[in-house]
Structure 1
Amino acid sequence: MIPVIGLAIGIAAGLVLQPTVPAPLQPYVPIAIIAALDAVVGAARAMGEKRFDDRVFVVSFVSNVLIAAAMVFLGDQLGVGSQLSTGVIVVLGIRIFANAAAIRRQIFHA
């Protein structure tokens, strides 16, 4: 429940405060959001399986965002930023959908 509450608070704060992102950091925002959502959906799955650990969640959240941002930065430096960004989004998207499917199976016992 804590990850969902944190996500809701973050979304509300973003809508109210409407922060601006500096132009050099804009390519990293979508990747960071997808990486953070991967951690949140993974935490929701762990909660449903009664094995949620807040320390694991925080480490997963921070490391996902940092690793994804580092990969995009490396791709930019190599001149293949958009291709590497797409790869990161695909991999994290697969993980999100796999966790969502596991949550759905837990809820509907199917």
Structure 2
Amino acid sequence: MWLPVLGLIVGVTVGFLLDLRVPQEYSSYLSIALLAGLDTIFGGVRSYLERMFNVRIFMSGFFFNTLFAAGLAFLGAFLGIDLYMAAIVAFGVRLFNNLAVIRRIILSKWLNQQE
């Protein structure tokens, strides 16, 4: 359980230390990739807490969601339509839904432990 936390700390530290700039034309793709990754991570945490985690489903969901969202953004840019907004809304809703379920699971375990 400590290895993902260590990876997160190292990744955030390296991200703050390096002065990388994302070009403006790629910002919509990066925002979608970030949301897709966060959605998959929180979905993985949720499934772990529900004792249903499967690494194959996690990895395939991560890559499929990211590629599909980036493809949708690319298609929208090609057609001149902001289709990336649909992916942002969808991933945002799923992200908050997963966070709500994680909160409920943790609170129910904590409350049951208090009794």
* TM-score, length basis structure 2: 0.80
1:74 maps to: 75
Q: Show the counterpart of 2:91.
A: 92
**How far off its partner does 1:33 sit?**
0.3
Q: How many residues align?
A: 108
Q: Which amino acid aligns with 1:15?
A: F
**Are 1:105 and 2:104 an aligned pair?**
yes
State the distance in 1 between where 2:69 and 2:31 align. Answer: 10
CA contact (8 A) 1:41 1:100 kept: yes
> Do the aligned partners of 1:3 and 1:40 also contact (CA within 8 Å) in 2?
no
- Report which of the two structures shows the higher radius of gyration computed on alpha carbons: 2
State the one-letter code of the partner of 2:92.
G
State how 1:1-110 maps to structure 2 within 5 Å. 1=1, 5-81=6-82, 84-109=83-108
Q: Which runs of 5+ in 2 are unaligned?
A: none
Secondary structure class of the residue paired with 1:74: helix
Assess if the C-alpha contact under 8 Å between 1:3 and 1:43 holds in 2.
no
Closer, same or farther: CA 3–61 of 1 in aligned 2, 3 Å: farther
C-alpha distance in 1 between matches for 2:47 and 2:39: 12
Q: Is the 8 A contact 1:3 1:44 kept in 2?
A: no
- Measured in 2, the distance between the counterparts of 1:64 and 1:18 equals 28
CA distance in 2, matches of 1:106, 1:39: 18
* Distance in structure 2 (CA, Å) of the matches to 1:33 and 1:101: 19
TM-score by length of 1: 0.83
What runs of 5+ residues in structure 1 fail to find an aligned partner? none
Percent of aligned pairs with the same residue? 41
1:60 and 1:25 map into 2 onto residues whose CA distance is 22
**C-alpha deviations, 1:3-51, integer Å up to 9, x for none?**
5554444323322223333444232111110111000010010110111
Per mean C-alpha deviation after superposition, the further-off stretch among 84-93 and 39-48 is: 84-93
